[in-house]
């Protein structure tokens, strides 16, 4: 759908928006420029400005395309309907890690993915402060600043899950089902750690620096880019029902990200989750 020049242009657009809308406000946000949308869910003037800029530039690059952005969905959940339609869709999280950004912590990313008919086609994960860009195109592999990414080797099934590194979100984001799953996993001796934003976590997984992750929410803007990056690095993602992640939602949660299907299924079994959509 995108030629090589357009793929390169998307990366340029993301860098431009980072330079004009995100970095100039980093560490300089004023009173009233940080708002709490819900408990622990922040949005800043930079989130809104960068999403608007990305929306305009990406639509211009691919005429007829739609956009599903985090802030647009917050204003109108009907925006999500584009994920089930026939048109190409840009999926945007303008600042993944807004809490870090608002507190002048440089660990935040810009997430952009392109999908059509529920299939992920391309993805970009950008760290504006450090200038690092990860990207993937379906069937073309995953890269970080030009270097090929590969997931960690799958653990030996004979060893079970003991000492397998598994990351998840911080406890304040867990609901009852997530808490049950993580408690069950801990009895299998996994090496549990807390991630620091979905974008950063997916790059870490795709680079083989961590083996698995248990994801407890399904916001498509958090996961679309990372799922393709991880898949193109050789990884697998499965919902608690053992099915692929569905961009339009309704997934059985938590879902797992792993080096291979066998490890993903072992994690699902060990977590002992009840199959069904997460309320």
Per-position DSSP letters for the chain, written without gaps between them: ---HHHHHHHHHHHHHHIIIIIGGGTT-PPTTSEEEEETTEEEEHHHHHHHHHHHHHHHHHSTT-EEEEHHHHHH-GGGGGGGGSSS-EEEEEEEETHHHHHTT-S--EEEEEEEETTEEEEEEEEETTTTEEEEEETTS-EEETTEEP-PPPPPPGGGTTTT-EEEE--GGG--HHHHHHHHHHHTTT-EEEE-S-HHHHHHHHHTTSS-EEEE----HHHHHHHHHHHHHTT-EEE-TTS-PPPTTS--BSSEEEESSHHHHHHHHHHHTPPPSB--
Give yes or no for a contact between 184 and 270, defined as CB atoms under 8 angstroms apart.
Answer: yes
Q: Is 176 annotated as a binding residue?
A: no
Q: Is 92 annotated as a binding residue?
A: no
Cα separations (Å) of 121 from 21, 89, 265, 274? 26, 10, 25, 31
Q: Is 81 annotated as a binding residue?
A: no
Q: Is 93 annotated as a binding residue?
A: yes
Q: Is 119 annotated as a binding residue?
A: no
Q: Two tokens at 53?
A: 């800029």
Rounded Cα gap, residues 229 and 124, in angstroms: 8
Q: Which residues are annotated as a binding site for Mg(2+)?
A: 70, 93, 95-96, 222
Q: Which residues are annotated as a binding site?
A: 70, 93, 95-96, 222
């Amino acid at each position: 759908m995108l030629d090589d020049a357009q793929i390169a242009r998307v990366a340029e657009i993301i860098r431009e928006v980072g330079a004009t809308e995100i970095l100039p406000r980093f560490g300089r946000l004023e009173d009233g420029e940080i708002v709490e949308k819900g408990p622990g869910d922040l949005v800043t003037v930079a989130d809104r400005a960068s999403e608007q800029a990305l929306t305009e530039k990406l639509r211009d690059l691919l005429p007829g395309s739609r956009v599903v952005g985090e802030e647009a969905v917050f204003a109108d959940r009907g925006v999500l309907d584009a994920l089930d339609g026939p048109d190409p869709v840009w999926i945007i999280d303008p600042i993944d890690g807004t809490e870090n950004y608002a507190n002048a912590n440089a660990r935040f990313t810009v997430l952009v993915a392109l999908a059509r008919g529920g299939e992920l086609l391309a993805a970009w994960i950008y760290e504006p402060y450090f200038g690092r860009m990860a990207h993937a195109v379906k069937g073309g592999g995953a890269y970080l600043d030009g270097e090929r990414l590969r997931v960690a080797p799958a653990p030996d099934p004979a060893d079970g899950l003991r000492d397998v590194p598994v990351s998840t979100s911080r406890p304040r984001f867990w609901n009852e089902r997530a808490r049950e799953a993580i408690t069950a996993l801990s009895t299998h001796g996994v090496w549990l750690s807390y991630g620091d934003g979905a974008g950063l976590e997916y790059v870490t997984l795709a680079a083989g620096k961590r083996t698995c992750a248990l994801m407890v929410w399904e916001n498509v803007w958090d996961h679309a880019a990372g799922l393709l990056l991880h898949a193109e690095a050789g990884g697998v993602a499965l919902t608690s029902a053992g099915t692929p992640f569905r961009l339009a939602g309704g997934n059985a949660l938590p879902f797992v990200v792993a080096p291979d299907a066998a490890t993903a299924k072992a994690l699902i079994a060990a977590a002992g989750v009840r199959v069904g959509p997460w309320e």
